[in-house]
Chain A
């Protein structure tokens, strides 16, 4: 049992979504207090480390623009190396944010309130990192706008039957809708920060960003309608975006890619890796900002359960892929699978089986799901495993072409690594800035939670979705 500064005792009650004794004022003060607290050395060093990654990314991208994609390890037959692996990995991580904020809202899961705001921010930053890679991978980056359909003097149009063009629309719609959803959710909280601002600069900036929100009852009614609609619109995006990414692969006649299991299996994998990243971020965050009363063990527990379910779906996907490759009777398909088992990238394959299929099975035990240190370690393992999965899907499918004379190997160069690690730096830099400058937990929704639980004394009276009528 932990005791907070205010003397509130935290219980391990699994049903609690908010600690007892909270009031409208206490949750607002606590969450907004993080933004108004002075910067610590710990924060500055973590931020500095992440920012070093951004500098590395800038150098890697500048050199790439100067020299072209030849600085990467890609070649024929492996023309999709780290860039597409990283793209799929990052965009997958983003999915948990949308899943938490939209799907769980519509399914009236009240516990989502404390984690939705930073999960949405995580989505935005992950999409920003993901979006870089297809552009960098173009080779001639200056022509990126050719992806967008616009009337041009060459009389050319994108080929709308191609999944790669669907991707342009799916990812940009996803990015924009996620941004709007996040911002609309933030408006009442920005107003709270404006009202608490101690400096004129803070008052002005939060005043402009909050658009003059004053909590009028008619405004709230329209706001709730719009928020619920945005949730309803974002929910199908969870399914559609990664389905389209899956179709990037399954539309190609490459053994290991050409499979109808890809869209659903990619969606499950995306939510799986996304929840892993949510836990990777939430566990240090609640400890660092002392938010164990708002992000309770119930949140960790529920995220673990969802991660386990999606992990099992992913495991089913692996099984189905292996079974289908032998059942197909195609020599290329079965060779591809055997090559994954014992070929040159076998270590990667068995790593991903360990990380994504075996390791998550410990989540069947409730005591493990409530042990934050084990869960944190497992979330890192799953992040690595899901990155490895995309790497194996891309590289092992490509490197053994139909003709042995066209076989090749993919060796990532230092620039591949610099770009990849650089985007991790970018992600954390953006996340640290967010955690400092904006409330990491939705304040207005937490106040609603206090109202519905009578200050955390009772379990929620009814499973009314937050912000929804």
Chain B
């Protein structure tokens, strides 16, 4: 990496283009991806179908994590009941067999749901690296509109193709409302 480029990536987080509709940002995202940019992220007030896939998002592990945690929760729940009421404190209730498993199902089910729900939340936050109170995008004054009605597309300065002039030109071809430099 030439010294000049390193300096820019130290000083700048990236170049951000601003749009006013989901359709416009989808077009822009396709355009910059076709040009070969890889470190691109979009910031939008609503989720837009297919946008993250265009920007190179492959797959999320959340469903797999949640499935594992649900199994651990349900299995652990049943084990707890079996250990408590069969092994550690056997107590004959109404002449039922000691391991009267149908009576253990409601708590097994609840424990499965509990673990799955908590893990879905934690996995989503952890994979998104949240909580993250500071992010360079927050330095942009207009970024407060990203949670209202503005759509931002940011080409990050650590992208191998990033060049202040050429990247700006690439963004200009998709007719954004504004292009701004995002300081670090």
Does B164 sit within 8 A of A, measured CB to CB?
no
Does A68 sit within 8 A of B, measured CB to CB?
no
Closest to A212 in B: B132
Q: Which residues of A contact B1 (CB under 8 A)?
A: none
In the complex, the answer to whether B130 meets A207 with C-beta atoms within 8 Å is: no
From A46-54, A159-167, A319-327, the one touching the partner chain is A159-167
In the complex, the answer to whether B43 meets A214 with C-beta atoms within 8 Å is: yes
In the complex, the answer to whether A166 meets B146 with C-beta atoms within 8 Å is: no
Does A21 sit within 8 A of B, measured CB to CB?
no
Interface residues of A in 1-35 (CB under 8 A from B): 23-25, 28-29
Give the A-binding residues of B (Cβ under 8 A).
22, 41-49, 51-53, 55, 57, 60, 62-63, 66, 80-81, 84-85, 88-89, 91, 93, 96, 100, 103-104, 106-107, 109-111, 113-114, 116-118, 120-121, 123-125, 127-128, 130-135, 137-138, 143-149
Interface residues of A in 96-134 (CB under 8 A from B): none
CB<8 Å pairs between A and B, sample of 17: A24-B148, A160-B107, A163-B106, A166-B106, A169-B114, A180-B117, A195-B143, A207-B133, A214-B43, A216-B42, A222-B60, A223-B128, A226-B62, A230-B117, A444-B47, A447-B46, A467-B47
Closest to B40 in A: A217
Q: Which residues of B contact A183 (CB under 8 A)?
A: 121
Q: How far is the CA of A204 from the CA of B148 in the complex (A)?
A: 19
Interface residues of A in 435-469 (CB under 8 A from B): 444, 447-448, 451, 467, 469
In the complex, the answer to whether B47 meets A161 with C-beta atoms within 8 Å is: no
In the complex, the answer to whether B146 meets A215 with C-beta atoms within 8 Å is: yes
Partner among A158, A176, A194, A218 whose Cβ is within 8 Å of the Cβ of B57: A218
Does A302 sit within 8 A of B, measured CB to CB?
no
In the complex, the answer to whether B134 meets A222 with C-beta atoms within 8 Å is: no
In the complex, the answer to whether A195 meets B148 with C-beta atoms within 8 Å is: yes
CB distance from B94 to the nearest CB of A (A): 8
Closest to B25 in A: A217
Does A330 sit within 8 A of B, measured CB to CB?
no
Q: Which residues of A contact B107 (CB under 8 A)?
A: 160, 165-166, 169
Partner among A24, A29, A215, A237 whose Cβ is within 8 Å of the Cβ of B113: A237
